[in-house]
Amino acid sequence: MSSILTYPQDKGLYGIFNDSFPPIMDGVTLTVENYVYWLMEKGRTPCVVTPWNPVREHYPYSVMRFFSLPIRSRKPYRYGYPKLDPFIWWKLRKTDFKILHSHCPFSSGRLAVYVKKHQNVPLIGTFHSKYRSDLEHSFKLFPWAVPIIMKRILNFFNACDEVWIPQAYVEETVREYGYKGPLTVVENGNDFDSILRGDAADYKREARKRVGLPPDTLNLLFVGQHIWEKGIGVIVEALELLKEKVDFRMNFIGTGYASSDLARLIERKGMADKVKLYGVITDRKLLSDFYAASDLFIFPSFYDNAPLVVREAAAMATPSILLEGSTASEVVTDGKNGFLAKREPQEFARLIESLSNDRGKIRTVALEARNTLVRSWEDVVDEVTDRYDSLIRRHNSSR
* pLDDT tens for each residue of 300-314: 998 888 899 999 999
Per-residue three-class SS string for 83-121? HHCHHHHHHHHCECEEEEEECCCCHHHHHHHHHHHHHCC
Q: In angstroms, what is the C-alpha Rg of the chain? A: 22
Cα separation, 378 vs 303, in Å, equals: 27
The domain locations on the chain are 8-189+377-397, 200-373
The CATH number of the domain covering residues in 200-373: 3.40.50.2000
- 302 φ/ψ angles, rounded to the nearest 5 degrees: -90, -10
The model's pTM is 0.88
Between residues 129 and 182, the one the model is more confident about = 182
8-189+377-397 in CATH: which number?
3.40.50.2000
In 3D space, the residue among 382, 338, 337 whose CA is nearest the CA of residue 187 turns out to be 382
Can you tell me whether residue 9 is helix, strand or coil? helix
Is it the case that residue 6 has pLDDT exceeding 50?
Answer: no
Mean pLDDT of the chain: 92
Helices (H), 283-358: 284-293, 308-315, 345-356
Distance CA 109, CA 101 (A): 9
Give per-residue pLDDT as tens, 260-275. 999 999 999 999 999 9
Question: Would you say the CATH fold of 200-373 matches that of 8-189+377-397?
Answer: yes
